[in-house]
Structure 1
Amino acid sequence: MNRTKNLYIVLIFSFITALGFSLYFYNHVQEYDEKIAKMKALPSLPQYHIALIGEEKDHDYWRLVGEGAKEAEVIYDTFVEYEGPKRSNPEEQLKLLDMAIQSNVDGIIVQALNENFKVLINEAENKGIPVVTIDTDAPDSMRETYIGTDNYLAGQLAGEALLEDTTGEVNVGVVTGSFQNKHHQLRVEGFKDVIKKEDRIKIVAIEESNILRVESEDKAYQLLNDHKNITAFYGTSSYDGIGIVAAAKSLDRLEDLYVIGFDTLDENIELLKNEELNVVIGQQPFQMGYDSIGIMLDIIKGKTVEDIYYTEVSILRKSDLTASNNKGGADD
């Protein structure tokens, strides 16, 4: 009898143990199935990783370039890693470019501010990483293509506006964002080549703002004090026009001046509406960023691309303003 009782106890214990293991494994299988279902529900990882390196990450202009690229990112199954210095710093940009090369990304879109970028662009290309220059070109490098403003043309348009809108002798003060950066050099060069057609217009001095609002105001103030005969100003970066107007106001000289600014920054548009700026040269940074992604993917996939893709540049006066402002943005 005791033997039978013990056998029943063993069988019951075995049954309970087996049931426990069954429930345990059932629960784990359910959890595993749930995890698999969740993973399947997640979007697939983007096929391509592209690095976008701008001059100044949080600048209005470069923010629009980044927004354009990010909008294209969704369409083209691509992850765009947008980076840039907090303030304009070519050396930091070069470090970011080197990091992108070492990370072996699928493609690099970069502003090539000076000749130092050529070495790293060529290094990337030799490693099989295609490079597209944006906003500022490096035509003598191995880069695949350039997308952005024709900066020489932008300077010419500024010069043509001055010729068209003024009469008699005009003495011009120029405040440029940078003496070293190629795109600012081209904007000054294009401007000079147009105004030299008429002897009545002369540049009396050129100063550098280092792409800083406070310096553009300081340099304009200095120019107005040192050259009492200045009757016009040309600023080649987005903050230069703002600084010029502020300096002229402080000296009660604005009524006497013709002022050309750069880029459709909100503040510049307000100054244009108030007739404190006479002309704004407009660019298309959002379009640059958006188009650069599609062009880069064409390159990655072995398609033929053009050597240069110029985006629109225009002369904007108060009469050209409309209720619907495009995504023109502000440049560096």
Structure 2
Amino acid sequence: MGSRWSVLAYVVGAVCFVISCSIAVFYGYKVLTHQLPIENKVQAKYQYHFVLVPEELDNEYWRLVEKGARAAAMQNHVLLEYVGPEQANIDDHLKTIQMSAASKVDGIMTQGLSDQQFTPLINRVVEKGIPVITVDTDAANSKRLAYIGTDNYFSGYMAGKALIADTNGKANVAIITGSFYKNHQQQRVKGFEDAVKSEPGIHIVAEEESNISRVRAAEKAYQILQSHPEVTAFFGTSALDGIGIAEVVEKYKSKDHLYIMGFDNLPETIAYIRKGTIQATVVQQPFQMGYDAVNMMIDIIKGREVQTVVHTNTRIMRAKDLTKLQQEDLEGVR
């Protein structure tokens, strides 16, 4: 009798053990299947993981680059991260690239920066097998695999020639540039200077730095007008410079006596052109840059041959050019 009870006890214990294990396995499975599907879905949905590092995160110009990149990313099953400094800062920019490389992303798209700090980092990233494309501003001395964006020297040259035409070759010009040290700003200034240097009636009387800040651009414009009352024209080489200059001109000086050449077609720039405060601006194609950069990165990963330098179109926009087509281009509509 005792042996029967012992057998029964063992059977009951075994059944309880099996049930316990089954419950543990069941709930373990439930936990896992509530944690992993997100990753599985990401792996199934996205073929590549790219990072786009802008000059400044909430800059309206770079938001258009992001918009183009996201459009291409959605079409090609790419997970796109848009990360970078809140305000233009080379150290934060470099840290973002370092973190992206450490995360072993499939590709990095970034604005090119100064050779001294930027080139060694990009070279290390590429040597580790992560392709890098520069967007908007090149870093030609690095091992970046391709560049897509404006020919910045040519855009400055174009601005200079447009200013000559619009002022009949007679102007005392002040230049406000986003940065004395960034490649694309240097190239725009150099192009402009080369365009006007042979004109006897064009004189560059001042050059100041805005640090890619509208407020700073306005401060510098005000200081220039106080120190150089002979100034009759301004050239702003970054997207916010023309806007800052226009604010000061409207507030302190008759807009009819000053010519302003801006850069990019942000909504405020367009509004100032409509009012006649800004006479012209250099228009780039940031949406196209972002869109083509993603497609170019995919081609590189797949081993396809790509052009190492692709210059997007640049043009001068004046009030007469403000049509529905330009407005759609401003909004990034393809």
- Shorter-chain TM-score bucket reads 0.7 to 0.9
Tell whether the 8 Å contact from 2:154 to 2:188 is kept in structure 1 after alignment: yes
Deviation at 1:296, TM superposition (A): 0.3
Deviates more, 1:206-215 or 1:165-174: 165-174
Tell whether the 8 Å contact from 2:250 to 2:277 is kept in structure 1 after alignment: no
Tell whether the 8 Å contact from 2:164 to 2:170 is kept in structure 1 after alignment: no
Cα distance between partner residues in 1 of 2:146 and 2:195: 28
Q: Any residues of structure 2 matched to 1:23-34 within 5 Å, and which?
A: none
Deviation at 1:247, TM superposition (A): 1.4
Partner of 1:253: 254
Deviation at 1:45, TM superposition (A): 3.6
For 1:198, give the aligned amino acid.
Answer: E
Cα distance between partner residues in 1 of 2:127 and 2:234: 44
Tell whether the 8 Å contact from 1:61 to 1:329 is kept in structure 2 after alignment: no
Cα distance between partner residues in 2 of 1:222 and 1:92: 30
Deviates more, 1:101-110 or 1:141-150: 101-110
Tell whether the 8 Å contact from 2:152 to 2:187 is kept in structure 1 after alignment: yes
Cα distance between partner residues in 2 of 1:104 and 1:46: 15
Could you say if the C-alpha distance between residues 252 and 192 of structure 1 is closer, same or farther in structure 2, counting changes exceeding 3 Å?
same
Q: Any residues of structure 2 matched to 1:102-141 within 5 Å, and which?
A: 102-115=102-115, 116-141=117-142
For 2:65, give the aligned amino acid.
Answer: V
Structure having the higher Rg: 1
Partner of 1:282: 283
Tell whether the 8 Å contact from 2:206 to 2:224 is kept in structure 1 after alignment: yes
Aligned residues: 320
Tell whether the 8 Å contact from 1:125 to 1:131 is kept in structure 2 after alignment: yes
Corresponding position: 1:88 with 2:93? no
Deviates more, 1:179-188 or 1:66-75: 66-75
Task: Provide the identity percentage.
Answer: 44
Cα distance between partner residues in 1 of 2:62 and 2:251: 30
Which of 309, 313, 328 is the equivalent residue of 1:326?
328
Partner of 2:99: 99
For 1:79, give the aligned amino acid.
Answer: L
Partner of 1:301: 302
Partner of 1:207: 208
Cα distance between partner residues in 1 of 2:305 and 2:270: 39
Deviation at 1:316, TM superposition (A): 0.1
Could you say if the C-alpha distance between residues 193 and 283 of structure 1 is closer, same or farther in structure 2, counting changes exceeding 3 Å?
same
For 2:226, give the aligned amino acid.
Answer: N
Corresponding position: 1:57 with 2:27? no
Tell whether the 8 Å contact from 1:232 to 1:258 is kept in structure 2 after alignment: yes
Tell whether the 8 Å contact from 1:284 to 1:329 is kept in structure 2 after alignment: no
Partner of 2:229: 228
Deviation at 1:328, TM superposition (A): 3.9
Cα distance between partner residues in 1 of 2:169 and 2:317: 23
Tell whether the 8 Å contact from 1:285 to 1:327 is kept in structure 2 after alignment: no
Tell whether the 8 Å contact from 1:263 to 1:329 is kept in structure 2 after alignment: no
SS at match of 1:306: coil
Q: Any residues of structure 2 matched to 1:5-44 within 5 Å, and which?
A: 44=44
TM-score (norm 2): 0.86
SS at match of 2:240: helix
SS at match of 1:211: coil
Cα distance between partner residues in 1 of 2:330 and 2:180: 24
Structure 2: which 5+ runs fail to align?
Answer: 1-15
Deviation at 1:295, TM superposition (A): 0.2
SS at match of 1:247: helix
Cα distance between partner residues in 1 of 2:221 and 2:81: 37
For 1:110, give the aligned amino acid.
Answer: T
Cα distance between partner residues in 2 of 1:109 and 1:200: 42
| RMSD of Structure 2 on Structure 1 (CA) | 3.1
Tell whether the 8 Å contact from 1:176 to 1:207 is kept in structure 2 after alignment: yes
Tell whether the 8 Å contact from 2:169 to 2:199 is kept in structure 1 after alignment: no
Partner of 2:11: none
